[in-house]
A = this chain, B = another copy of it.
Amino acid sequence: MYQYSPNYAIGIDIGGTNTEFGIVNHRGEILKKGRIKTNTYPTIEPYLDELYDNLMPIIEAWQKAGNIVGIGVGAPNGNYYTGLIEYAPNLRWNGVIPLARLLTEKFNLPCTLTNDANAAAIGEMTFGAAKGFKDFIMITLGTGMGSGIVCNGQMVYGHDGYAGELGHTIIRHGGRKHWKTDLEGSLESYCSATGIVLTARELLQNTQQESLMRQYSLNEINSRLVYECALKGDALAQEVYRFTGQILGEALANFVMFSSPEAIVLFGGVIKAGDLFLKATREHMEKNVLPLYKNKVKIIFSELNEADAAILGASTLAWNINH
C-alpha cells in the first residue's frame, strides 16, 4: 500500500546581524522557525556548530514525518553557481567561504546558495508582492543594502553569479567613505540603516538645528532612535529620512533606465519608516528619469514578513535542486 510521505525544505537567511531559518512545506508554509546571531562568531566554524545545534533538532523532528529535500540558503555575496560566499563586506568572516559544501557536510543534505537579496526576491516573486511580475528589482534595506534583479521572469545572476550588488554602486562621486569597502559615495553608505545613522550624526555635527536627538551622544544615536524622533515630529530626524529618500530615488532612477522594471520592491527594517523617506524617493526617482519612464514604475513594499521572504525564497532553491 502506498504511504504518502510529505516533502519539506529548509530555508536559511543569513543576515549581517541575525540568521533566520525555517522548515517549509510544498505550499510555502513555514512550519517551524528559529534564529541565531550571525555577527557574534568571528569565524565560520563556531557559527556552523551553533546553527547545527539549533537547526538539527527541527530537521530530526520533521524527518520522522516525511522527507527533507535539501537546504536553500540566502547569504550576502552568496554565489548560486559556486556555492561560495566571497568577500562579503557585511559579514565578519573574511575571504572565501565554501558555505554550500560546509552545510552539506554538516547536515548531510544537498545545499544550494544564493545572494540573500536574490533569495528574498525569489520569495517575493513566488509568494509575495512581486507575484506575476516578470521584470522587477528587489531592494533590501537593513543593516546593509542588498538587491535582487529579475528580468524576463529570471533572476539575473550574471556571468559569475554575482550580479545585483546595487548597494555598492556609486551614487555620489567622492562622497561618504564606506566603513568596509572603502568605496566613496556608495548607495549602501547612505540608504542602509547604518547609513541613516551616519547621516544623522553628520547633520547633528554640521548644523546648529535643535533636535530631540541632541539629548544623546553621537555614539548613542542608532536607527531606531532616529526613527522614533522623526515620528515625534523632530525636523532634523525627518530631514535624515528625506535625504535618505532623495539618494535612494536618484539611484532608483538609474536602475530604471538600466532594466526598465514594472516595479521596485522595497524590503527590510528601514521600510518601516514609510512615507518619512518614500515621498522623497518617488519625487527624486521621477525627477531623474527620461520622460518615457515617468509615472510608470511602481515603488511597493514587500508583502511578506521580513524574515519569511528570505526563508521562503531560500527554501525554493532547495526544491529546485531535486528537480
Chain A interfacial positions (CB closer than 8 Å to B): 77, 86-87, 89, 134-135, 149, 151-152, 154, 156-166, 168-173, 181, 183, 250, 253-255, 257-262, 288-293, 296
Most central of A134, A262, A288, A292 by chain B CB within 10 Å? A292
Q: Which residues of B contact A77 (CB under 8 A)?
A: 292
**Once the chains bind, are A290 and B168 in contact (CB under 8 Å)?**
yes
Q: Which residues of B contact A162 (CB under 8 A)?
A: 260, 292-293
A102 CB → nearest B CB, Å: 19
Docked pose: A261 CA to B262 CA in angstroms = 22
Docked pose: A232 CA to B189 CA in angstroms = 43
**Once the chains bind, are B291 and A259 in contact (CB under 8 Å)?**
no
Using CB atoms, name the residue of chain B closest to A135: B159
8 Å CB contact of A257 from B157, B166, B259, B289: B166
Q: Which residues of B contact A135 (CB under 8 A)?
A: 158-159, 163
Using CB atoms, name the residue of chain B closest to A291: B87
A89 CB → nearest B CB, Å: 7
Docked pose: A296 CA to B28 CA in angstroms = 38
**Once the chains bind, are A89 and B259 in contact (CB under 8 Å)?**
no
Using CB atoms, name the residue of chain B closest to A261: B159
Using CB atoms, name the residue of chain B closest to A96: B292
Whether A171 contacts B173 in the complex (CB less than 8 A), given A152-B154, A154-B152, A291-B87, comes out as: yes
Q: Which residues of B contact A250 (CB under 8 A)?
A: 170, 173
Docked pose: A151 CA to B155 CA in angstroms = 9
Whether A260 contacts B163 in the complex (CB less than 8 A), given A151-B156, A183-B288, comes out as: yes
A77 CB → nearest B CB, Å: 7
